[in-house]
Every structure is written in C-alpha cells, then in structure tokens.
Amino acid sequence: MNAMIPTLTLAAALALPASAMAQDKAPALKGHDPVAYFVDGRPVKGAPSIAYEFDDSRYHFSKPKHRELFAADPDRYAPQFAGLCTVGMSMGMKAEADPNVWKIVDGKLYVFSSVRAREKADKDPSLLAKAHRAFRSQ
C-alpha cells in the first residue's frame, strides 16, 4: 500500500494543468512587475492576484493594465535570460538576480545579482552579447 502512495502522487501531479503547477513556483523577478521597469522606470512589487504565465514562469503585476501590456507582447517586457543574472550568464553560470539591480538596454530588461555585477556590465558592454550566446547554447 505504501508503495502506491508515491505513484499516486506522481499521477496526480501529472494530471494537474501546467498553470496549477506554475502557481507553486516562486514568481519571476521575485514577484516584481516586469512592465513597471519600462513604464514606471523602477521595480515595483506585483500582486499574485494579477498574474500571467509566460515561458514556464509566473509573472506578477502591480496593475491590470501592466498585465494587459505584457500579455500583448511578453517578449518585449520579460527579463532576458529568464531573469537570471546577466553577468553570471555571460560566464555560463545560472546565478540568481536581484530584481532591484537592473538596466534596460536597447529596449530589453537585464537584471543582475549585485550592483557590482551591473557595474561590470556597464564597463564591458560585450558581456551582454556573451550572455546571449551562453543562454542560447544551453
């Protein structure tokens, strides 16, 4: 009987819709609204009740209008590298980013693990291209 419990649990998990499973994951950008970086010019915490799923991530928004903008063009607003640290990605590493350390370059949102990491990218803009190449090769 006990051997059946893990099997039943797995079967139940597989039967759940992807949206139900995404709710169990931590939100992208640690719950910050990706559209706010562009519209408000700063990170703003989003609300779990105003959410949208894109690219295996769940995003929270501070306003329904931001959710609508994101849903209409998620590639425009979603952070690069699935929200991982840009400098870490340039070195082929998946490092957690701090959503309060960010910059927008050529209309794309980049987040960093620290102010020092962002300063490194500021001093060496080639790190962005390196990060893109590393992310594509994964």
Q: What is the 3-state secondary structure (H, E, C) of 18-29?
A: HHHHHHHCCCHH
As a whole number, mean pLDDT of residues 89-114 equals 98
Q: What is the pTM of this model?
A: 0.82
pLDDT (0 to 100) of residue 25: 80
Q: Where are the domains of the chain?
A: 19-76, 79-138
As a whole number, mean pLDDT of residues 19-40 equals 84
- Render 51-65 in DSSP notation, one character per residue: EEEETTEEEEESSHH
Instruction: Judge whether residue 7 has pLDDT over 60.
Output: no
pLDDT (0 to 100) of residue 23: 54
How do residues 31-79 score in pLDDT, each as one tens digit? 999 999 999 999 999 999 999 999 999 999 999 999 999 999 999 999 9
Angle among Cα 120, 125, 130 to the nearest 5 degrees reads 95
